[in-house]
Structure 1
Amino acid sequence: MSKENKWRWTFFFIGLATMSLGITMTIKGKIIGTSPWDVLHIGMFKQLGLTIGTWSILVGLIIILSTSLYLREWPKLATWLNMLLVGSFIDFFNWLLPNTTIFPLEITYFIGGLFVMSTGCALYISANLGAGPRDTIMMIIASKGFSVRTGRTIMELFAVTTGWLLGGPVGVGTIILALGSGYIIQWTLPKFRYQLNKRIA
């Protein structure tokens, strides 16, 4: 494996693990709501059992198969790894991190999770090895003449509405995560790209 690929995959794996840790932290602080997709995953967990991470994997698998049929192309390896690893990491960190019902600690979990999740997302995106399953839907919607922001909004509205109907935790935190993460990713992504280019130069 070339030096460039080693660094890209390093950024990719560390980014996924970091993002998953942040996702789990926001789930632990769900008193004020979780991200749109986690509203769906938690709602399915409440209604059907299994684990939150397992539902993340299964929903991702359905999305991958659907988008592959639509695009008539096989997803990249990184897309499959994204689906499998994020769900697995979520279950691992959910087991590792202690639960709490103390409101200040839940808020701390949530705020910390927002920054950790967004930073991890920027780190894995900087590797440029392939989009995650949900990002692929966003880009398909955007290719129909909508902006990327509109595509993301449509996708997340569907997820949060379905999850809420299943009993998932929706609140002001859901809005904060949907809007706030983009600003953090936008700020950190160029820095990670700079660091990656510096290492593979």
Structure 2
Amino acid sequence: MATTAQFELHPVTVRRDPARRLTQLVVGLVLFGTSMAMMSRSLLGLNPWDVLHEGLMHRTGLTFGTVTVVTAVTVLLLWIPLRQRPGIGTIANVVLIAVSVDLVRWALPPQDHLAVQIPLLLGGIVLNGLATAMYVGARLGPGPRDGLFTGLTARTGLSVRLVRTALEVCVLAAGWLLGGTAGVGTVLFALSIGPLTQLFLPRVVWRPRS
């Protein structure tokens, strides 16, 4: 299994191999939004960050969207000591994910039969791992939350699997303590997204030609 010591995740100018990297970025973000919609429509649990958003919404009285923006800005501030740099992918993250998740949720109604819910949940989790690896691996700037885990990975030398899993578990715990709704899907996501991202990332990360 490749580790982060074998490849870089820092953003690289879009002028290098733009066709491949921009395509990978857009596809990855659309798939990420799709995976979020799949999980939410399974009704078996939100992902950890959305548990946190819901908990903060209950505590502050702000709308879900406003809480999401505030959280993103707060996380971006944490990039400073980690020496992370935003890129086109950071901006695209907010726009494309929001559009794709709304479109898929519009097309896909909530499910109430386990025979559909379970595959929808599991497919959403696996797709999320692939999508994360794709848009982070395009090296055009990660989203606010993913920049946090890539920065921690780079600064600590620990594996993507360990850092991502630890971060998701901490976020989940905070969201639950604040009153966010967690389910079996939330736990599965928190425990599996790190290993899944670690599995897919070496296969899709962009590397400059020698």
Query: TM tier, shorter chain?
Result: 0.7 to 0.9
Gaps spanning 5+ residues in structure 2: where?
1-13
State the TM-score, normalizing by the size of structure 1.
Answer: 0.76
The 8 Å contact of residues 57 and 84 in structure 1, kept in 2 or not, is answered as no
Q: Alpha carbons of 1:69 and 1:120: their partners in 2 closer, same or farther (altered >3 Å)?
A: closer
Q: How big is the alpha-carbon RMSD for the aligned residues of Structure 1 and Structure 2?
A: 3.3
Partner amino acid, structure 1, of 2:108: L
Which of 176, 179, 195 is 1:183 aligned to?
Answer: 195
Identity %: 29
Q: Alpha carbons of 1:28 and 1:55: their partners in 2 closer, same or farther (altered >3 Å)?
A: farther
Gaps spanning 5+ residues in structure 1: where?
none
1:60 paired to 2:72:
yes
Partner amino acid, structure 2, of 1:127: A
Residue 13 of structure 1 deviates from its aligned partner by 0.8
Which of 30, 33, 37 is 1:20 aligned to?
Answer: 33
Counterpart Cα distance in 2 of 1:46 and 1:28: 21
Residues 19-168 of structure 1 mapped to structure 2, 5 A cutoff: 19-31=32-44, 33-44=45-56, 48=61, 50-51=63-64, 55-64=67-76, 66-67=77-78, 70=81, 75-142=86-153, 145=156, 147-148=158-159, 151-168=163-180
Partner amino acid, structure 2, of 1:40: L
Q: Alpha carbons of 1:119 and 1:23: their partners in 2 closer, same or farther (altered >3 Å)?
A: same
Report the structure, 1 or 2, having the larger helix content.
Answer: 1
> Match of 1:131, SS?
coil
The 8 Å contact of residues 67 and 136 in structure 1, kept in 2 or not, is answered as no
State the TM-score, normalizing by the size of structure 2.
Answer: 0.73
The 8 Å contact of residues 165 and 191 in structure 2, kept in 1 or not, is answered as no
- 2:18 matched to which residue of 1? 5
74-83 vs 16-25, which moves further: 74-83
